[in-house]
Amino acid sequence: EAQVTQNPRYLITVTGKKLTVTCSQNMNHEYMSWYRQDPGLGLRQIYYSMNVEVTDKGDVPEGYKVSRKEKRNFPLILESPSPNQTSLYFCASSTGSGQPQHFGDGTRLSIL
Amino acid sequence: QKEVEQDPGPLSVPEGAIVSLNCTYSNSAFQYFMWYRQYSRKGPELLMYTYSSGNKEDGRFTAQVDKSSKYISLFIRDSQPSDSATYLCAPGLYNFNKFYFGSGTKLNVKP
């Protein structure tokens, strides 16, 4: 089954404690992306990757890092989380830019 | 000005009603127009994908694009309680790495 898998699905943590949200896709997609979804603001792109070792900033990259060492994986790293990063996060993949995206089921992060 | 504007709702309708969901956009260069459906506690899933002005029909769903007005619509005929979800419009550009999304309209179809 084609899918994008995110872990964890839920996380409550404290300010400053580094965390990583993993994302893996099994569709051999080149393009992957991270979004955060906040009420009234919709989906906002954090970072994206066009292929292995190729990443770039989206609209709201501050406070986040990513890496793309393998085609299937695209982890999101919060080096020093802060309460304003409390949000619902989605990973997505597609065959390329401008193509329909497949989304994971989301990770709800609460930073206290 | 936001690239994509969408009424957040919520929109509540009785089962069997025709639903109209709408978005406006500011970038006249947008080449394709997608609609995603998002159920509670799930990620968005592609519902409709069109790249031209006019109508595209798929079962009970019709996507309509008016490029001259920069206005896109999604119509749902014979709405069902299973259609209760948030609907996101997503216009965009080919060969461009950024994706745009409306903030979503929450639809509730009452039995």
For residue B91, give the chain A residue with the closest CA. A98
Note the pLDDT of residue B78. 98
Task: Indicate whether B96 pLDDT > 80.
Answer: no
Residue B98 banded pLDDT, cuts 50, 70, 90:
confident
Task: Indicate whether B9 pLDDT > 90.
Answer: no
Give which of A30, A54, A45 is closest to A91, Cα–Cα. Answer: A45
3-state helix, strand, coil in chain B (%, to 5): 5, 50, 45
Residues B23/B5, Cβ–Cβ less than 8 Å: yes
Task: Indicate whether B97 pLDDT > 80.
Answer: no
**Closest-CA distance of chain B to residue A6, Å:** 11
Residue B43: CB atoms within 10 Å: 21
3-state helix, strand, coil in chain A (%, to 5): 5, 50, 45
Residue B82: CB atoms within 10 Å: 9
Instruction: Average the pLDDT over B57-70 and give the result.
Output: 95
* H or E, element range at B71: strand B71-76
Note the pLDDT of residue A41. 86
Measured distance CA(B61)–CA(B75) in Å, rounded: 6
- Hey, which residues 25-54 in chain A have their CB within 8 Å of chain B? 31, 33, 40-43, 45, 48, 50
Task: Indicate whether B99 pLDDT > 90.
Answer: no
Note the pLDDT of residue B7. 85
* Residue that is written with structure tokens 């995110």 in the block: A6
**Closest-CA distance of chain A to residue B74, Å:** 17
Residues of chain B contacting residue A101, judged by C-beta atoms under 8 Å apart: 44, 46, 99
Note the pLDDT of residue B3. 87
What's the burial of B67, exposed, middle or buried (CB within 10 Å: 0-12/13-18/19+)? middle
Residues of chain B contacting residue A59, judged by C-beta atoms under 8 Å apart: 98
Measured distance CA(B23)–CA(B86) in Å, rounded: 13
Task: Indicate whether B8 pLDDT > 90.
Answer: no
Measured distance CA(B88)–CA(A109) in Å, rounded: 22
**Closest-CA distance of chain B to residue A12, Å:** 17
For residue A103, give the chain B residue with the closest CA. B43
Task: Indicate whether B95 pLDDT > 80.
Answer: no
Closest in A43, A56, A105 to B42, CB measured? A105
- With a pLDDT cut of 90, the percent of chain B lying above it is 81
Task: Indicate whether B1 pLDDT > 90.
Answer: no
Structure tokens at A12: 């409550």
Three-state secondary structure call for residue A51 = strand
Closest in B31, B43, B97 to A90, CB measured? B43
Note the pLDDT of residue A1. 87
A62 touches chain B (CB under 8 A): no
Measured distance CA(A9)–CA(A14) in Å, rounded: 17
Residues with pLDDT less than 50, chain A = none
- The better pLDDT of the pair B67, B98 is held by B67
Task: Indicate whether B46 pLDDT > 80.
Answer: yes
How far is CA A99 from each of CA A47, A84, A88, rounded to the nearest angstrom? 17, 30, 23
